[in-house]
Chain A
Amino acid sequence: MTKILTGGVGKTEVAEALNGLLDTGRVEVAVSSDMDAAMKLRAGQADYYLGTCHTGAGASLGLLLGLLGSDVCHTFGRSVPSEDEVNSLLDSGKKVFGFGMDQIADTTPVLARAIAARAA
């Protein structure tokens, strides 16, 4: 079971969007907070973290970047990534993604599809 945590300013919106897009039998989505999520990812109790804020990196990644290191964290800022971009990031081991909250509607589905393809 793949577990995705959401955090940051738009955490509930992202979780709702993910639940609407994903097969919840295979992927579990939970609303979290940055501190909690950092601990769970460290301990291997969760697989991915999607954080949102105005910049796409401050409130969403702040703590995780410090605790988990830049190797597993990536920010899209306020841009919307392509599916290929997300796939190559996942291939390189990124688990923590930050993006701007005014792009939730566009960015969440791209991430959801790429992660779901791996969970299958």
Chain B
Amino acid sequence: MSTILASTAEAGSKSLDFSLGQQLTVIALCALTAFISHMALAVFNDGVRPFMLDFIQGRTTRTATTAVAFGLSAGFIFGLGAPMALASGVLNPWLLFLPTDVLGILSPKKWLAPLLGGAWGAVVVFGLGGANDLAHELPVDFLTAMQEMSTPILFLFTLFPVLAITKQFGRLRGGIAGVVELALVVVTMKAWPDIFPGAVAMAVGVLILIGFAVQKDLNQRRLDRAEKAKAAAAGDTEAAGDAADDPMNSLFSASAARIRRYLPLYMALGAGVCLLAQMHVFGGGEATSFLIAKGEYAEAAQVDFYRVFGFIPLIATTALASGAYAIAGFTLVYPIGYLLPSPWLAVLAGALVFAVEVLALSYLGKVLGRLPSVRDSSEHLRNAISESLWLAILFGSLMAANTMGGGLGIMIVGGLYLLNEAMGRVVVRMAAAPAAVLVGGVLLNLLYWLDLFTPVKG
């Protein structure tokens, strides 16, 4: 019995304790993000951003905006950020930046915002550090069991372009993309056993999707132009369409100008977020926390890099429509941070990436306006990412449950997941299964202390 416990504890010894430098970075970054949110320059929650326009233009009060921000964020803080962080032992943007969005907007005074933000950062690093140490000392170690998560996440995520292609361009093209990806995975496994088998397949899948979308948009534009030419030849007035574009253009260019004015502040923000990613105590995407926890940084970088494609149009449009940017920008600084070898490089790269993003915003808005299918693709991409990760995280959680407690573990974790569904998804669907592993782990430890349960294996 004691040997079993000893080996469990050893397997979990890869604990994510925060060093002093990491703690200070998180606290300073949270102070900065709260200040930036107070100034209405950027918010993390994509849903809150549109509401910043009325706030910036003084049509609504700080209190009303705080209520909106809290209402849209609370579920994701307690239902996604907190359970993901406790289940993986790794920080995530929902836990850090959604509260600093709210705290920043809430602060009536400029100096109070960074103070509150920094305090939140301290609560998170000390709280999560303590919870991690405690979890690893338990006889049933769910944090180590959670490492089962990485295989289903990586292999199912590989297929997200296939799902997106099927939804947007139909079964035939989706089927072909699926066969191509499967063949590439098999070939990669055989030919380059050292790299992640899905790497090539994902790249090709995303390229196929973008290719289809651009082709569709170019064809549509050719048709539109032909029609316009015909209408012009017939002597029709064709000014209606152009006039409708005006309010959008003026809104977009005013917002882009506002954001550009604060370029240095955004560069500091980019440097901070990139540094946080470089420290390997933070996962930016829904599933990357589990990959970071296992030390699979190159794989985490791939997952978050492809995720960027799903978010560029969303973030660009909401930023241009509101005048407030995103705390993590286009989230490109996440994968760059994971891969960079030194913190100084991360600071430099983060600042540069944010500078380019902010300066390119206006141009991006114009390009995206002309490519509706590409915008459409990004929505299908985000949908496909959540679908594939939902299954992967559910399956990985059940595998973790099996590792922790066999059939009993599966029953508790699967049961809690189903219960959450039946109760109308109190916890966000993506985080429900990891949260269930967390609760299941605590429950199994209680049963162990009551002498009602013996841990399965080491």
Contacts and interface: CB of A to CB of B under 8 A. Distances in A.
Q: Determine the main DSSP class of B at the interface with A.
A: helix
Nearest to A8: B379
Nearest to B326: A58
A35 interface: yes
Given A62-B49, A67-B248, 6 more contacts: A53-B46, A59-B46, A59-B379, A59-B382, A63-B318, A66-B251
B286 to A, nearest CB: 10
Contacts of B369: 35
B428 interface: yes
Interface in B305-352: 314, 317-318, 321-322
Given A70-B51, A70-B60, A62 B46 contact: yes
Nearest to A43: B244
Contact of B251 (A36, A42, A56, A67): A67
Nearest to B46: A58
Contacts of A3: none
22 contacts: A8-B379, A9-B379, A10-B383, A33-B375, A33-B376, A54-B47, A57-B47, A58-B47, A58-B50, A58-B314, A58-B318, A59-B318, A59-B382, A62-B49, A62-B317, A67-B321, A77-B71, A98-B47, A101-B383, A102-B428, A102-B429, A103-B424
Contacts of A61: 47, 50
B50 A57 contact: yes
Interface string B415-434: 00000000011001100000
Interface string B423-449: 011001100000000000000000000
Nearest to A106: B424
Given A53-B47, A65-B321, A59 B314 contact: yes
Interface of A: 8-12, 33-36, 38-39, 42-43, 53-59, 61-63, 65-67, 70, 75, 77-78, 80, 98, 101-103, 106
Contacts of B49: 58, 62
